[in-house]
Structure 1
Amino acid sequence: MANEQLKPIVSLLLFLNFCMYAIVAVIGGWAINLAINRGFIIGPELVLPANFPPIFFPIGNMATGFFVIFAVIAGAIGTAAAVAGFNHIRFWNYDSLQPAAASALIAWVLTLVAMGLACKEINLDGRNAKLRTMESFMIILSATQFVYILAIHGGHQRRVRN
């Protein structure tokens, strides 16, 4: 059966990840809204600048657009994975582990992509405090989500039926 000693640790990690993923999604939504409102408008007589990024954000640097898009996707998937994790905490058996582990793994991989883009954005410099918050959360989430995945797998053994 399940190892009940890991349940409080898993619950704490899950709640922490849920809150951080939700904050990342909200800040990312703000950044996308700002980019839409202050977007680059090209008239018929104007041409694109030479180094115009394909995803333009008036805040941050050249990596901001890619980072924000992937962070919002990771935030949405991470929040949904946390809902599956809450269901797993409720039942705490091998059958509820499968969807929780699969969705957590997908959220972690997307978090790693966003974390890599956050590192690139940090390297390029020139961003505001909200973007720094998103970067920090993505770096922290890449570690805490991995520990969460290890913890839910460590707390279960498959029961053999005779």
Structure 2
Amino acid sequence: MANGQLKSVAGLLLVLNFCMYAIVLGIGSWAMNMAIEHGFVIGPGFDLPAHFSPIYFPMGNAATGFFVTFAMIAGVVGIASILAGFNHYRYWNINSMPGALSAATIAWTLTLLAMGFAWKEIELQIRNSRLRTMEAFIIILSATQLLYIAAIHGR
């Protein structure tokens, strides 16, 4: 009985995490595109601006570049872990669990790293609504990914 309940919880968390990681990737892609299009322009003499940073994002604060970069890495690894998790969900045996568990743990640790940068960005306070949404999703994903790890480990 408990095995079936854990499988349904894991399936629900798989779908939820997939949707949230996809939204994080969408917002992160928008932010990266804005940074590329509206970043520093090097002049004809190839002089760098006074406060040049290769991770400059015009829509946020000093932590935005790091947050967006690590959130996108966490999103890609999170989607990959969901693919391994879907395979484990299909078979739901001891042989498919180690791959899903290790991929989910790596995705969770990267999500925790992005969450740390999200907290720093919240502390610095200058950001727009899309970045706030991305921060909220990363913070929620850090909890739901941990619940997913617990659900597949407790089989």
How far apart, CA to CA, are the structure 2 residues paired with 1:83 and 1:49? Answer: 44
Partner in structure 2 of residue 76 of structure 1? 76
Per the TM alignment, residue 45 of structure 1 is displaced from its structure 2 partner at its CA by 7.5
Per the TM alignment, residue 4 of structure 1 is displaced from its structure 2 partner at its CA by 2.0
SS of 2:95's partner is helix
Instruction: Mark the runs of 5 or more structure 2 residues left unpaired by the alignment.
Output: none
The 5 A counterparts of 1:18-29 are: 18-29=18-29
Partner in structure 2 of residue 40 of structure 1? 40
How far apart, CA to CA, are the structure 1 residues paired with 2:147 and 2:21? Answer: 15
How far apart, CA to CA, are the structure 1 residues paired with 2:36 and 2:96? Answer: 40
How far apart, CA to CA, are the structure 2 residues paired with 1:129 and 1:144? Answer: 22
Superposed CA deviations along residues 94-126 of structure 1, whole A, max 9, x for unmatched, are 111111001000000000000000000000011
The 5 A counterparts of 1:4-153 are: 4-43=4-43, 44=45, 47-50=48-51, 52-153=52-153
Count of aligned pairs between the two proteins? 153
How far apart, CA to CA, are the structure 2 residues paired with 1:105 and 1:65? Answer: 24
- Per the normalisation by structure 2, the TM-score is 0.94
Q: Is the Cα contact below 8 Å between 1:53 and 1:62 reproduced in 2? A: no
How far apart, CA to CA, are the structure 1 residues paired with 2:113 and 2:132? Answer: 16
Superposed CA deviations along residues 63-87 of structure 1, whole A, max 9, x for unmatched, are 0000000000000100110111111
State the Cα RMSD in Å: 1.4
Runs of 4+ in 1 over 6 A off after TM superposition: none
SS of 1:55's partner is coil
SS of 2:138's partner is helix
Per the TM alignment, residue 14 of structure 1 is displaced from its structure 2 partner at its CA by 1.0
SS of 1:95's partner is coil
Per the TM alignment, residue 26 of structure 1 is displaced from its structure 2 partner at its CA by 1.1
- Per the normalisation by structure 1, the TM-score is 0.90
